Amino acid sequence: MGETVVNMGHYPNGQPNGNAGAENLSWIKFNVDYFKNRDGLLKLFQLFIAIICMALASPAYKGVSHFFLFVVIINFIGTVLWSFVYFLGIKDVLFLPINWILSEFVNVVIATMLYAAAFIMQMATWVGSNERNAGANTIAGFFGLVNCLAYASSSYYLYLQYKFDNSN
């Protein structure tokens, strides 16, 4: 017959204690200072503008507004996730073979392109229209342009950071 091995876990100090659950989360460090620099402020700005876009374009009366809201919501979720990555310091404690800057750069470039298409379609459909909520949807398209520019500037800064990191 073969042996059965049972692994009971690893205790950091070699001894079990009553705070074992608290030590499992000891890697979490809140990085509030990230939101005081340019990149963090840009993320907060993008989230704020996305909320304005969602409020102005909802409810979607036309297919174009459905696409516009889809783009805004998907990028809002992505920006929230990246904000948590930086706020919780996840990229510093997870030792995964991920190029975090390149991953975020690709995400932001795609967001910029989607926002560009969405705000152009939104503006082309609603500017000059006499339909219900045309004014709010036109303003939503304008804020989509503002967010497109915010994501474009983020992609530029991420590109510079990626280029600097890889030149050393």
128-166 per-position pLDDT tens digit: 888 888 999 999 999 999 999 999 999 999 999 999 988
- Does 135 map to a domain? yes
Is-contact 78 107, C-beta < 8 A? yes
- What tens digit of pLDDT does each residue of 102-129 get? 999 999 999 999 999 999 999 999 998 8
Give pLDDT, residue 17.
52
* Domain assignment of residue 121, given as a range: 38-167
Q: What is the pLDDT of residue 77?
A: 98
DSSP string, 127-139: TT--STTHHHHHH
Q: Is residue 133 part of a domain?
A: yes
Domain contains 11: no
Residue 14 in any domain: the answer is no
Identify whether 33 is part of a domain: no
Asked if residue 21 is part of any domain, the answer here is no
**Is residue 145 within 8 Å of residue 126, measured between CB atoms?**
no
DSSP state letter for 25: T
Is 8 domain-assigned? no
Residue 59 Ramachandran class (φ > 0 left, ψ -120 to 50 alpha, else beta): beta
Q: Which residues lie closer than 8 Å to 65 by C-beta, 6 or more apart?
A: 57, 122, 125, 126, 137, 140
32 found inside a domain: no
How many structural domains does the chain have? 1
pTM for this predicted structure: 0.81
Three-class DSSP category at 26: coil
Rounded to whole angstroms, the Cα distance separating 105 from 67 reads: 23
Both tokens assigned to 155: 């992609």
7 conformational bin, left if phi > 0, alpha if psi -120 to 50, beta if neither: beta
Measure the CA–CA gap between 53 and 133, rounded to whole angstroms. 13
- Rounded to an integer, what distance in angstroms lies between the CA atom of residue 84 and that of residue 79? 9
Q: Name the token pair of 55.
A: 């409020």
What pLDDT score was predicted for residue 11? 47
